[in-house]
Amino acid sequence: MLPLTERETAVVRLMASGLSNREISSALGIKTATVKNHSTAIFRKWRVNDRTQAAVVAFARGIITPQEAYRQMTAYMRE
């Protein structure tokens, strides 16, 4: 698997936390189309087909823990 850029890592962490593309774009201050481009790059680099598979890889590689994902999700919901 190819390594992710810093921005791709930020996107996949939020993706694994259950945020939508629109929510990720808002959290990172980027356009939704840019989130989609980063997602496509993540899928290609990791040879996965969807967000769920990308999240599984992110958890397996220690990019994010379930506890961190929960904290990010609940923090976003409070905003």
CATH code assigned at 70: 1.10.10.10
* Residue 14: Cβ-neighbour burial (10 angstroms; 0-12, 13-18, 19+): buried
**Would 1 be classed as within a structural domain?**
no
Our count of domains for the chain comes to 1
pLDDT tens string 8-20? 999 999 999 999 9
**Would 50 be classed as within a structural domain?**
yes
pLDDT tens string 29-69? 999 999 999 999 999 999 999 999 999 999 999 999 999 99
Give the pLDDT confidence score for residue 54 in this predicted structure. 98
pTM for this prediction: 0.93
